[in-house]
Structure 1
Amino acid sequence: MKKLIFVFFILLGTTLSTSQELVSPDGKLKMIFSIREKGMPAYELLYKERQVIKPSRLGFELKDDKRPLLDGFKVVETNTGTCDETWKPVWGEVAEIRNYYNELVVTLLQKETERVMVVRFRLFDDGLGFRYEFPRQKNLVYFVIKEERTQFAMTGNHKAFWIPGDYDSQEYDYTESRLSEISELFDTALTDNASQEQFSKTGVQTALMMKTDEGLYINLHEAALIDYSLMNLNLDDKKFVFESWLTPDAQGDKGYMQAPCVSPWRTVMVSDDARGILASKMTLNLNEPSKIKDPAWIKPMKYVGVWWEMITGKSSWSYTDDFPSVELGKTDYKKARPNGIHAANTAHVKEYIDFAALHGFDGVLVEGWNEGWEDWFGKSKDYVFDFVTPYPDFDVEAIHTYAKSKGVKMIMHHETSGSVRNYERHLDTAYQFMKKYDYPAVKSGYVGDIIPRGEHHYSQWIINHYQYALEKAADYQVMVNAHEAVRPTGICRTYPNLIGNESARGTEFQAFGGSKPNHVTILPFTRLIGGPMDYTPGIFEMDISKLNPNNNSRVNATIANQLALYVTIYSPLQMAADLPENYNRFPDAFQFIKDVAIDWDDSKYLEAEPGRYITVARKAKGTDNWFVGNVNGLDKRTSKISLDFLERGKKYTATIYADAKDAHYKTNPQAYTISTKKVTGKSKLSLDSAPGGGYAISIIENE
């Protein structure tokens, strides 16, 4: 279904009305565009006649330009239209997505400079998207952005779930506070990372989740971040006005533009039900359709891997301790003494392949297989990896042959150590190596400061690198799971080979001191707004000291919570992250990880409150089987749900993996119960979720 209607209003030589209204298809949202004092363009947003965004400024400051694009404008043309279409994602949380919006396009002329700036607004039932467009024109061709001055003026001192604004890292725990408290709490919200730089004590990142005292949920983010810098937000905590704050490059510039060009979409999601934020597909809809003509090679995968044992310190990425430094092509590893704890060796990897084949997993990820890990971290080293040369104890040919015989695919790992220049030098060779040995997916990493030196992880230049690596991967039919890269903004619609991202505080931080128990009840409202997350769930042994006596960290979750993550944190590339021996200790709980789907026909959000709880039901692709996940925050809670999403007249068997009565993320995380019962669409369930706990349910149609 596709319907496109456009209406044009053009009055040449005449200033149009200084106020234009746009209403959402369901009539609940209204956007008002206006030209205010001194010709300043502004917008305002209302929901059910309640103000959500007060009149907020639009525009730019340009470098070395005395006349900013902030005022002196008049409206010379407006276009309105409606789009109603349905499209099918290659993979996703639902089988079909409706893209339904009303549009207003405002063409502005700055009379003094004869420059033209267009603002395109799209109003959906669940929120507003708008972007800047610069058409081809003689008075604005090449220009450098000093700062984008888009504002989001809040109506009060809302509750916010935020992480510090940063040019290099999103790997923070979320802080819940009033807007007025951000500056006071900013320093305590910071945690160490391999690369980070904050810009303001009131700076925060998107996607930013807020809740008003009247119970309205508001989410600020961006969509289609292409050839532009990532947008942070800086808060005036006296007036409660957010303003865009772009990530600078090494010279301090925030964007090199050439007209015709466009900015990313700035998005404001609004709902009086938290579930509406989770269900929104607006971010995807603001991206272009897929550019991959035949996506048959893009296939969701469930995998295990040689990773967690190294994260915890049980094993090592590096092969030897003999070398204080290495030079690729010059260091003779064959003469080195193995350190005895290098995990990526042929025999050990075969054990993981055996485990994957036995339990029906699609793939095995191996990290630390290639030369260079002895001095990769924190050395500002340009030529750190070549992505094709294995250590002496990793037999690429033997692993390839063995995995193929077991029906298991290997997943490649490319750690760049932040040296994107080096990665681009080797990218074709690395992807060709993957094709030769049948690696369908790559996990790329960008740990540490960026090289070229002085660049940030989220500046325009590096954003373009991530896009280049993604598009180059598509040329080789390679799926990409990028870690430490920019947080996603829905680009996976256009390039569905972007099958996963980390780009937030994932499970690894549970081994670095822990994350807050309610962290996973916030991520779907923030990080996952832009696309799936490779959170790497499924940890069953919470006491890290049992893997590494020198590491006293604990995983702040129950086993039932870890199972639920396979449903609540969506990813089409989903890892069972723990060691095989820990799954062998709890085979009945591990069964859920084996059974749960990774691609879906439908998703229902049954309960939701950011920072408190989330309950999601999803229908497995091509079946009538459903899986339910509930993750809980700090307080014990009784979750009551209806199974009315099940097809009427059919009977199902539900297997319920729940917290035991005495379960607690801190004191008794491995206490769980498993029960089965017959259910129908008329059934209702009442289940207790422990602090840091939850439950998982598989609902299988009876034959």
Structure 2
Amino acid sequence: MKPVKTGTIALLLFLSLIVRAKPPLEISRGPVSLQFSITEDGKPVYAILYNGRDVVKPSTLGFMLESDSLFYKGFSLISADRKTVDETWVPVWGEYSSIRNNYEQLTAHLKHRSGKLLDIVFRVFADGVGFRYEFPKQTGLTYFVVKDECTQFQLTGNHKAFWIPGDFDTNEYAYTTSLLSEVNNAPVVRAATDIAVRTVTDSLAVQTPLMLKTADGLYINIHEAALLNYPAMQLHIDKSGFKLSSNLVPDAYNNKAYLHAPEHTPWRTVLISDKATEILASKTILNLNDPPASTDLSWIKPMKFVGVWWEMQTGKGTWNYSDYPDSTDAHGQLIPNGRHSANTANVKRYIDFAAQHGIGGVLVEGWNRGWEDWFGNWKENVFDFVRPYPDFDIKEITSYARSKGVQMIMHNETSGSATSYERQLDTAFRFMQQFGYPAVKTGYVGRIVPRGEHHDGQWMVSHYERVLQQGMKYHIMVDAHEPARPTGLQRTYPNFMACEAARGNEYHAFSNGNQPDHETILPFTRLMGGPMDYTPGIFKLKGYAPWAPDRSVHSTLAKQLALYVTIYSPVEMVADLPENYEAKPDAFQFIKDVPVDWDDTKILEAEPGDYVTIARKEKGKNNWFIGAITDENARTAGIQLNFLQKGKKYKAVIYEDAKSAHWKTNPEAYAIRSMTVDSNTKLLLSLAPGGGAAISIMQSE
């Protein structure tokens, strides 16, 4: 080999530094701009600005692979592509009749010093940025293991944060509001004894979506979009420099992802605005998901539903038919405990109630065998998804519901045994088809089987997708409980109607519940990724738990009505007992009237942790519904109705807190008034502590 002179080496190094030191690539849309560059040691770096202000200062990107622990430096930029997209698409259901998808895209094609290729794709919207990694098909990288993702978010200061712990197995914590420097999830995790499974290994880890507010009034939301075949991303906080680092959920071998090129990661998202209302109005996360593959989607129908769920939560009945798995008679038959809620006569009562009040569905939990042996046991083969208990006559119930124009909703609790559920999935969905069940509520309470996997790890993320895929095949809509938090996948899988993945209303039944600010934080955090099955509409707010007479729902009744607007879901539960609604028929009218599918949404006012007011226009009609909620502080909400059609008169029915209402001392006190309104009307609503208001606005004939 011919020797290279020292001067030549120096010249080559100098030229290399010149290439890396050239001005960064930049793209922008509206007030948001993104810069991308390569450092002198070959690290990919990005930065985000809003109206020229730093939001994310230069932050590094890359990976630690099993085969290359330094796959975050030593890169060079081969080329870059740009494009502009401006399109409009129509969702199958949702908060809007159409959604605009408008962004600038930059794709940086990188080559590692090992010869491996990596692309980083950035999309800049008027309200934020999404970026993801893409591994092209190449000879140097086929099957590979991700040990860590090295994505960082270098913040500009000690922002206020609305956070829950970065737990591998649950998203059901109460929210903490603190400065980033004050985050320590260890005491929060220790105190959360009402959560079935907790797995937190990093006291400085927080879950996404993470909502932040800067000292000078900028709102920042960090999350991800299109989570498929990859673990959920949490964030580790470096308090010394207020730097956030991606923290992926591992498997039993502490590996994060097993990939096969060509492949890509989910999108990392940063939403930014100087108005809190614009954060809630953002559709960037939804836009970063792919459209559905199927064109036959007419079978997907939003609905409200009732069910036996709350009576079991409050101890009136049980999920289990017998008290113990070995409680059998001389013939080996289960001995009934006499408290089983999912019995034929009781279910018919709920069907009658739904039919009488125009509610489309009835969900029945505890109908199938296995409930005696399910909770807290890390085992397989707990539930049979096609075998009812002896007192649940599925043929009779199906026939009765059909005669009343009501659809039954299936319930499949897995006890965390995803392997067992996958083996029975085809059988279970064929069973639903046979008996005309259009939707299923799935559940994953317990430690996951396969053992060593977590609810939010790659294996389970793929499991949830497999359930959605089977649902598309069998025309089954899915409402998943205890899954990974959503990331906009309802666009790709429109049968993914809702999920839980957060602390819901049920915690008022078996624990100390949710504080009054909880529902004012959820829209800025959990709901950024998709609809939530929060189970609103509780009317009996005290005295519902015999074993805990002082327990109460931390809400007024008017606020429970408002939640049907502020916490969006296309499948909304009418969660309380029928008799509690029958005792207050005037307030129940709002639940009967409020739709679950919308043409338009207006975020009228919002501040995370304090208050939210939202107006929505009914699908296909000129009717509007408004929900306004507050935290533990009373407030006056001023609502300008300038979104109404000009020149038209409307009848507004206002369901509001009575003057004496208070979430703690007098939660069920409400008042109802009617008035004629138009686009020039301004309403002033007095919200009680922990209270709210709900308004139906119907166009006059």
Alignment of 1:490-505 (within 5 A): 490-505=488-503
1:296-347 CA distance string (max 9 Å, x none)? 0000011000101111222100011253479xxxx99983332111000000
Partners of 1:186 and 1:202 within 8 A in 2: no
Say which of 668, 688, 698 aligns to 2:666.
Answer: 668
**2:4 maps to what in 1?**
none
**Higher mean displacement: 376-385 or 91-100:** 376-385
**Higher mean displacement: 276-285 or 188-197:** 188-197
Q: Distance in 1 between matches of 2:96 and 2:185?
A: 41
1:173-202 CA distance string (max 9 Å, x none)? 110000000027753785121112012111
Kindly provide the amino acid, as one letter, of the partner of residue 160 in structure 1.
A
Partners of 2:224 and 2:285 within 8 A in 1: yes
1:337-386 CA distance string (max 9 Å, x none)? 32111000000000000000000000000000001101111111200012
Say which of 308, 322, 325 aligns to 1:323.
Answer: 325
Matched position secondary structure for 2:580: helix
**2:287 maps to what in 1?**
285
**2:34 maps to what in 1?**
31
1:644-673 CA distance string (max 9 Å, x none)? 000000000000000111111110000110
Matched position secondary structure for 1:37: coil
Q: Distance in 2 between matches of 1:19 and 1:634?
A: 50
Q: Distance in 2 between matches of 1:170 and 1:190?
A: 15
Say which of 245, 248, 252 aligns to 1:246.
Answer: 248
Q: Distance in 2 between matches of 1:278 and 1:324?
A: 51
Partners of 1:628 and 1:696 within 8 A in 2: yes
Distance 1:648 1:189, change over 3 A: farther
Distance 1:287 1:17, change over 3 A: farther
Partners of 2:125 and 2:284 within 8 A in 1: yes
Say which of 341, 344, 347 aligns to 2:342.
Answer: 344
Overall identity of the aligned pairs, in %: 56
Runs of 4+ more than 6 Å apart: 331-334
Distance 1:101 1:325, change over 3 A: farther
Say which of 5, 24, 33 aligns to 1:20.
Answer: 24
Q: Distance in 1 between matches of 2:43 and 2:560?
A: 50
Q: TM-score, normalised by structure 2?
A: 0.95
Q: TM-score, normalised by structure 1?
A: 0.95
**1:538 maps to what in 2?**
537
Alignment of 1:392-541 (within 5 A): 392-512=390-510, 513-541=512-540
Distance 1:498 1:188, change over 3 A: closer
Partners of 2:166 and 2:200 within 8 A in 1: yes
Offset of residue 552 of structure 1: 4.4
**Higher mean displacement: 244-253 or 82-91:** 244-253
Partners of 1:15 and 1:76 within 8 A in 2: no
Offset of residue 561 of structure 1: 0.4
Offset of residue 548 of structure 1: 2.7
**2:616 maps to what in 1?**
618
Kindly provide the amino acid, as one letter, of the partner of residue 131 in structure 1.
R
Offset of residue 575 of structure 1: 0.6
**1:134 maps to what in 2?**
135
In structure 2, list runs of 5 or more residues that go unmatched: 1-15
Q: Distance in 2 between matches of 1:143 and 1:400?
A: 49
Offset of residue 539 of structure 1: 0.3
Matched position secondary structure for 2:29: coil
**1:629 maps to what in 2?**
627
**1:647 maps to what in 2?**
645
Q: Distance in 2 between matches of 1:392 and 1:332?
A: 17
Alignment partner of 1:219 is 2:217: no
Partners of 2:303 and 2:360 within 8 A in 1: yes
Partners of 2:598 and 2:617 within 8 A in 1: yes
Offset of residue 550 of structure 1: 4.5
Kindly provide the amino acid, as one letter, of the partner of residue 117 in structure 2.
V
Kindly provide the amino acid, as one letter, of the partner of residue 520 in structure 1.
E
Matched position secondary structure for 1:309: helix
Alignment of 1:287-302 (within 5 A): 287-302=289-304
Q: Distance in 2 between matches of 1:359 and 1:332?
A: 45
1:384-427 CA distance string (max 9 Å, x none)? 01211000000000000000000000000000000000000100
Offset of residue 612 of structure 1: 0.2
Distance 1:387 1:332, change over 3 A: farther
**Higher mean displacement: 375-384 or 394-403:** 375-384
Partners of 1:414 and 1:445 within 8 A in 2: yes
Partners of 2:509 and 2:545 within 8 A in 1: no
Alignment partner of 1:47 is 2:50: yes
Distance 1:42 1:332, change over 3 A: farther
Kindly provide the amino acid, as one letter, of the partner of residue 32 in structure 1.
Q
Offset of residue 19 of structure 1: 4.0
Q: Distance in 1 between matches of 2:225 and 2:136?
A: 20
Q: Distance in 1 between matches of 2:156 and 2:169?
A: 30
1:100-121 CA distance string (max 9 Å, x none)? 000100011112x011111000
RMSD: 1.6
Distance 1:185 1:686, change over 3 A: farther
Kindly provide the amino acid, as one letter, of the partner of residue 520 in structure 2.
T
Alignment partner of 1:582 is 2:580: yes
1:570-598 CA distance string (max 9 Å, x none)? 00001100000110111111000000011
**Higher mean displacement: 350-359 or 450-459:** 450-459
Q: Distance in 2 between matches of 1:336 and 1:566?
A: 40
Alignment partner of 1:151 is 2:149: no
Q: Distance in 1 between matches of 2:186 and 2:265?
A: 32
Kindly provide the amino acid, as one letter, of the partner of residue 542 in structure 1.
L
Kindly provide the amino acid, as one letter, of the partner of residue 621 in structure 1.
K
Partners of 1:172 and 1:189 within 8 A in 2: no
Kindly provide the amino acid, as one letter, of the partner of residue 397 in structure 2.
I
Q: How many residues align?
A: 683
**1:120 maps to what in 2?**
121
Partners of 2:561 and 2:693 within 8 A in 1: yes
Matched position secondary structure for 1:491: coil
